[in-house]
Structure 1
């Protein structure tokens, strides 16, 4: 993507894609789960957030039942529930982010985060779920890992992950720069 105009054109196609039977009913996906990725250059994070509020209003007016789940807010909530958040903040100051990530590997296992989300929200009752906040949660939370964990809890409810980076259809690359592992079961929401 070369510029903001191209990004805005892609953003303008989101509602149409979400309203399609292919998205809402997982039609034409060849028994694949309805996981979708809207990738964008990380430098446009604030633009995407702003535009997403308009998209949510449009979808809400049309009567869709959905949630925008901020992944960063969810890991903070999970850590607070376990009385680990303040300790984690202090620990990061002392040992740095890489060491903190190792310290939180147990409490922030991707399956624990997915289960925490599934217990908190009625996923099966929703038309779809939007996931945001991954950029803020990185590297404590990785796109391909959380998507893999969410497979076990989403059922037939489609999801869209707003991804600050690039998605080739095979590879997720956080922030368009960091090498990452493959995640092959998602589809690009708007090419």
Structure 2
């Protein structure tokens, strides 16, 4: 792991354990959504770190209720519960990626998927919500769309998105190459 990434990751615990962070204070009535952006090639190091962070919080701060919502695992579970997996595989094999993406637009619309995530992971009852696996679900899901939908469901609940790309505070660029619609409601967790 490179020194700069290690230094940034090591700042996360003190940041998320602050009362202001946990209570959503000092944000000027903004939502408590935070983005930790990182270079895509650091994905495996960040995955290891998020597991370490979860374990550390469970051991040293067990009073905090935290959940890590892995978008890939959640997406697969969501599609499986709706019996879409076999259909999706068959459609992709027969008609290709574009047809599959078009067919999944309805079932994966954020009006359906975001409430599923909140309910499945009991996110509204948590003190901190981590969202991982953003790059693994592209192009089926877009982070800015998910965050926009979660805002009305979670309000000021602290949400940290681990984002493999760049977040300028105004816009997100997945993998440092794929721009998204402007998203300016989140804060950078660690500069």
Q: TM-score range by the shorter chain?
A: over 0.9
1:134-145 alignment, distance < 5 Å: 134-145=134-145
| 1:104 pairs with 2:104 | yes
Structure 2: unaligned runs, 5 residues or longer: none
SS of the equivalent of 2:178 reads coil
CA distance in 2, matches of 1:164, 1:99: 26
Q: Normalization by structure 2: what TM-score?
A: 0.94
Aligned to 1:32: 30
Contact 2:31–2:156 (CA under 8 A) maintained in structure 1: yes
> Which stretch has the larger CA shift, 120-129 or 107-116?
120-129
- Residue 97 of structure 1 and its aligned partner are, at CA, apart by 2.5
1:50-78 deviation per Cα after TM superposition (whole angstroms, max 9, x unaligned): 11111111111212211001111111111
Aligned to 1:133: 133
> Over aligned residues, Cα RMSD in angstroms?
1.3
1:81-125 deviation per Cα after TM superposition (whole angstroms, max 9, x unaligned): 110011112222233333311110000001211110122122232
Contact 2:33–2:185 (CA under 8 A) maintained in structure 1: yes
Q: Normalization by structure 1: what TM-score?
A: 0.94
Structure 1: unaligned runs, 5 residues or longer: none
CA distance in 1, matches of 2:175, 2:30: 26
Aligned to 1:159: 159
- Residue 154 of structure 1 and its aligned partner are, at CA, apart by 1.2
Aligned to 1:70: 70
1:42-191 alignment, distance < 5 Å: 42-61=40-59, 62-63=61-62, 64-191=64-191
Aligned length: 189
> Displaced runs of 4+ in structure 1, greater than 3 A?
none
Question: Which residue of the other structure, out of 4, 7, 31, is the alignment partner of 1:6?
Answer: 4
- Residue 165 of structure 1 and its aligned partner are, at CA, apart by 0.6
